[in-house]
Amino acid sequence: MKILFSSILAVTLMLLFTVNVQAQENLSSGQKKEIISPEIHADNSVTFRLTAPNASSVSVTGDFLTSGENARMTKDADGVWSFTTKPFPSELYTYAFRVDGLEMNDPNNVYYRRDVASTLNVLLIGGGQADLYKVNSVPHGTIAKRWYKSPDNDMTRRITIYTPPGYEENKKSYPVLYLLHGMGGDEEAWMTLGRASQILDNLIAQGKAEPMIMVMPNGNVAQEAAPGESNLGFYKPQFRLPHTMDGKYEETFHEIIRFVDSQYRTIPKKKGRAIAGLSMGGFHTLHISRYYPKTFDYMGLFSAAIMPNEAVKSKVYDNIDGTLSAQKANGYTLYWIAIGKDDFLYQANIDYRKKLDGMNFPYVYRESEGGHTWKNWRIYLSEFLPMLFKNR
C-alpha cells in the first residue's frame, strides 16, 4: 500500500512539474519583444521606436525639429520603426508619432503633458539647463490645489499654490510670486509644461532663489478650473475662452490676493509681492501691476502680449499711460521684459519698450533666441526667480 501511494505521489508531482514548465514556456513564448522608446544614449542622441508592421509611413515630430518638420523612421524585419537623432542640448522636449498621416502618442512612453487639447510625450536630457527641471535629491515644496470664492465672477475657482520646503515646520512669513499662464492654459500649465515647482525647489536648494510662495491661478475667468477638474466634466479644452483679455481678470485679481493673504503666512506688502506671466499672462501682468500700482514690487513680462484690442472697452484699459506713470512714481524694484527674437510678439514688445523709454520708465530687457515656446519660458522663469525678494 505504501509503495502504491508513493508511486501515485511521484506521478502527481511529475505531472504538476510538467504543467508548470509548459505554463512558463507558454507565458514566455507569448511575451512581446520589449521596445524602448525613447532611448537616450550616452552622447544625448535619442532613438525613437514604434511597432507598426502594417504601416506604410511612420515619422516622428517634435519641438527638437523645425516647426512643421517630420523625421522619417525606417522599418526593420520585425515591423519596428526607428529613428535616431543627433545629440540634443540639455532640455525638456515634446514629441509625437505620425503613422500613415495620423498623429499618435508613443505607446512605450507613459510620460506626457497636455497643452490645451493636445497631449504630447515628453523626454528630458540632463547635463545642463534641464537639470533645473528634474526632481533632484533636494528638499521639496508642497503643492496644493485649493478652491477660493470669487464673488465678482459668481463662482468658486481652483488655484495651484506652492509653499517652499520647511513651510509647515516653521512660523515664518514668506513673499509671494503670482505666476500667470498664457492663452489656452490654466492653473496646471506652469506645473506640467513649465516645471515651475522643480525649478524653484532646485534654485532654493542651490541658494540662488529666496524661499517663497508661488501662486498659479487660472487666468480664464469663465472657468472654475482646468478641463476635467470642474463640474463640467471631461469636455474638450478650447484655446480661446470668453473674458480672457477683456479686463475682467485684472479687475477681479484682488480676490486672489485676498485669499492668499488670508490663508498663508505672507508678507502682505508691495515689497513681498511679485507678478509674472507668459504671453497672455504677460499681458495680465502688465495691466494688473499698473491697475494696482501699489501692490507689486517685481514684474516679469515673458513674451508678453501688450495692448488690448481696440474694440474692448474696460475701465482697466483706460488711461494706460497715466497709470504707468503712477506705477513709476510709486517705485518698484524690478520690471523685467524678456522675449525671443523670433517671437510673433517681438515687434509689439519693441513698441512697448519705446513707450517706456519715452516715459523714462526703468526696466531690464532680456532678448533670447527662439520664439513663443515653453523652452524660452522655462529659461525666463529660472532667470527671473533669483532676482526676487533680495532687498526686502
State the average pLDDT over residues 198-220: 98
- Rounded CA-CA distance 221/223 in Å is 5
pLDDT of residue 242: 83
User: CA–CA distance from 369 to each of 59, 92, 259, 327 (Å)?
Assistant: 27, 16, 38, 30
Write down the pTM of the prediction. 0.90
The overall average pLDDT reported for the chain is 91
pLDDT of residue 392: 60
All three cell numbers of 167? 513651510
pLDDT of residue 31: 47
Q: Provide the pLDDT confidence category of residue 30 given band limits of 50, 70 and 90.
A: very low
pLDDT of residue 5: 43
State the average pLDDT over residues 52-67: 91
- Rounded CA-CA distance 51/108 in Å is 10
pLDDT of residue 210: 98
pLDDT of residue 281: 98
pLDDT of residue 20: 47
* CA-wise closest residue to 63 among 80, 85, 36: 85
Instruction: List all residues 6 or more positions away from 200 whose beta carbon is below 8 Å from its beta carbon.
Output: 141, 162, 164, 209, 212, 214, 385
Instruction: List all residues 6 or more positions away from 203 whose beta carbon is below 8 Å from its beta carbon.
Output: 132, 209, 382, 385, 386
In tens, the pLDDT along 90-144 reads 999 999 999 999 999 999 999 999 988 889 999 999 999 999 999 999 999 999 9
- Delineate the domains of the chain, giving CATH numbers in brackets: 39-127 (2.60.40.10), 132-387 (3.40.50.1820)
CB atoms within 10 A of CB 248: 18
Paired residues of 260 in beta bridges: none
pLDDT of residue 32: 64
8 Å CB contact between 392 and 363: no
In tens, the pLDDT along 46-57 reads 999 999 999 999
pLDDT of residue 239: 80
- Rounded CA-CA distance 179/193 in Å is 13
Q: Is the pLDDT of residue 152 over 80?
A: yes
Q: Is the pLDDT of residue 28 over 80?
A: no
b (16+ CB within 10 A) / e for 274-292: bbbbbbbbbbbbbbbbbbb
The owner of cell 472657468 is 223
Percent of the chain, pLDDT > 70? 91
Of the candidate ranges 14-18, 208-212, 246-250, 297-301, the one whose mean pLDDT is the lowest: 14-18
Q: Is the pLDDT of residue 160 over 90?
A: yes
In tens, the pLDDT along 297-332 reads 999 999 999 999 988 999 999 999 999 999 999 999
Q: With residue 26 as reference, give the H or E element that holds it.
A: helix 2-30
Side by side, the strands of the sheet bearing 142-150 are 142-150, 155-163, 213-217, 176-180, 273-278, 298-302, 334-340, 364-368
Q: Is the pLDDT of residue 22 over 50?
A: no
